[in-house]
Amino acid sequence: MQFQKAVLQSTQVPPASLTRNDIAAEIPGLLPLYDEFPDIVYTKADPVYETISPAFKTSTTTKPLAVVRPLNESHVQATVKAARAAGLPLGIRSGGLEMAGRNYKGTDKGILLDLRSLCSINVSDDKTSATIGGGTIAVDLAVSLSKQGIFTPIGWHPRLGYAGWAMAGGYGLYSSPYGLGVDNILGARPVLADGSVVDVDDKNHPDLFWALRGAGNGIWGVVTQLTIKVYPPPNLLIGTLKILKKDWLAALDEWANNIEPNLPDEFGGEVYFRNPVLDSPEMIIFFAWCAKEGEDIQKGWDYFEKIKSLPGAEVQRIAECEFRGISLFCRIYDERRRLLTNERLADFATHLTSEPSAQPVSYQVRGVIAKGLTSNIASVLNRQWTNPKIYSGIPCHCAHGNAIKPDPSACFPLRYRHRLFPLNSRHSELMGTEEGESLVAELSARLIDGIKATGDAYVGASYQNLIPPVDTDLEVTFGKETLERLKTVKRKYDPDNFFSRGYPALDV
């Protein structure tokens, strides 16, 4: 049994190598920035441009006129000031996994501010918090912390920007034991629309601190630093089980009645429906049990037995992992708990990224939030797989335990028990053609409308990072009062809506 290692992009790139004439020809408005900091401005004339400009989604085809890669906070300030002075649109990116490419919109006439070189990680002496650069990517964070014998929750994908993931919500395997990403943010340092920098936490600018945690992303300023909580590393029981479609009805019935209503806080696992072999849909259960310091992992094994007894469940792998020093040791078992191998993983992140990574590709995205994986929703999911040429991936992210603990100091609105169903689909042969796109749109709409029609959905409620505007009603999501409060904060800190390429669109 092998853990597949994720291939990671380096966060550092060579300095830009453009002349003043290049800048004058392509984006003269940036000459003042170039004159001060020539190394950080890349246009199409620079050999590095092609590697740093694309977004994760290949459907985001916008080519920014210039990519600026700040190496420190004053570079960010100078870029914001230069963009404003020249009237150039500015989009912000870190991990680049934004589903709709909204941060690239208009940058073909302006700037993409790429924060990936702001990737620093400083842990406090008492090892309870860390201050990280605003462009830090999840896997770099996990590796760095694990080397220091500590841990913080991150999301599913190794290339997610921590800020982009956490500031809008931040779901993942560790949300129920440790809270969402927003719950782990202790402070932030945004560069505001006038180029000034502020320290934001529960005492300083608490209104902005509240808004920065959970509204969405990229609409308040450029966050150059976040201070986050870190913890002693947990022990983990992690694995995957697969159930083929012939057993779904029975398995989902059991799940909906006996598992879904009583998910323990320690269980952060997920259910994922997909058809990687197009005519063979499968339900994958990512099993993740998290035993915090002093907790017994045996409880996880007992729970694993329960999940394993679902009709048709086939164990793909199960591993018990613990930290010793800076390494993670995994004991990998077969389905009857017979030890197969003892593996020493160099670092925690290697384990976290052991699931095959999604490849950059163009998906259509729809989404809905519902009470849970109920019997009604299970029967809609069961009916979904009618066109074997369309790939659908339907993660069912669950929010329970500490993920739904109310926190009035953060605006994140979805503090009630729910599951997210962000559906991504593509046609295997006709991707990018009108016919293919409309077939995919039709099948996606059928699923979303089907879930909405069950009466188990919170129609209009949205997680801004994963559910697109077409399925979002901001008033339903935030409630009228919170939405008004968010607009007040926006008017105060960014009255001209300079940061307009983020979400949600607050229309102030």
Contact string 345-384 vs ligand FAD (x = CB under 6 A): -------------x--------------------------
Q: Which of 225, 219, 228, 226 is nearest to 489 (CA)?
A: 219
Which of the stretches 8-16, 92-100, 297-305, 371-379 binds ligand FAD when contact is defined by CB under 6 A?
A: 92-100
Within 447-466, the residues that bind ligand FAD by CB under 6 A are: 465-466
Q: Which is nearer to ligand FAD, 151 or 248 (CB)?
A: 151
Binders of ligand FAD in range 18-57 (CB under 6 A): 56
The 3-class SS string of 251-297 reads: HHHHHHHHHHHHCCCCECCEEEEEEEECCEEEEEEEEEEEECCCCCC
DSSP-assigned states of every residue in 26-65: H-GGGHHHHHH-GGGEEETTSTTHHHHS--SSTT-----S
Measure the CA angle with vertex 250, ends 246 and 255; round to 5°. Answer: 125
Options 216-224, 260-268, 288-296, 438-446: segment touching ligand FAD (CB under 6 A)? 216-224
**Applying CB under 6 A, which of residues 160, 345, 431, 483 lies at the interface with ligand FAD?**
160
* Residue among 115 and 228 whose Cβ is closer to ligand FAD: 115
Kind of pairing, strands 111-114 and 66-68? parallel
Rounded to a whole number of angstroms, the minimum distance from the CB of residue 466 to ligand FAD is: 5
Site for ligand FAD in 395-454 (CB under 6 A): none
Residue 352 C-beta: closest distance to ligand FAD, Å: 11
Q: Which stretch binds ligand FAD (CB under 6 A): 167-175, 256-264, 279-287, 400-408?
A: 167-175
171 binds ligand FAD (CB under 6 A): yes
Q: Which is nearer to ligand FAD, 103 or 146 (CB)?
A: 103
Instruction: Kindly determine how many residues on this chain lie close enough to bind ligand FAD according to the rule CB under 6 A.
Output: 32
Note whether 234 binds ligand FAD by CB under 6 A: no
Give the nearer residue to ligand FAD in terms of CB position, either 332 or 355.
355
CB atoms within 10 A of CB 419: 23
Task: Say which residue the tokens 């009603």 belong to.
Answer: 473
Q: List the structure tokens of 458.
A: 């919170």
Region class of 122: left (phi > 0), else alpha (psi between -120 and 50), else beta: beta
Residues 29, 95, 177, 300: which binds ligand FAD (CB under 6 A)? 95
Query: Given the DSSP bridges, would you call strands 121-123 and 129-133 parallel, antiparallel or unpaired?
Result: antiparallel
Residues 62-81 that bind ligand FAD (CB under 6 A): none
**Maximal CA-CA distance, the chain:** 68
Residues 508 and 503: their CA atoms lie apart, in Å, by: 13
Q: Answer yes or no: are the C-beta atoms of 138 and 95 closer than 8 Å.
A: yes
What are the C-alpha distances in Å from 425 to residues 63, 380, 398, 432, 457?
Answer: 24, 16, 20, 12, 20
Residue 99 as a binder of ligand FAD (CB under 6 A): the answer is yes
Does 100 participate in binding ligand FAD (rule CB under 6 A)?
no
To the nearest whole angstrom, how small is the minimum distance from the Cβ of residue 43 to ligand FAD? 20
Residues that bind ligand FAD (CB under 6 A): 56, 92-99, 103, 115, 134, 155-157, 160-161, 163-165, 169-172, 217-218, 222-223, 358, 465-466, 502
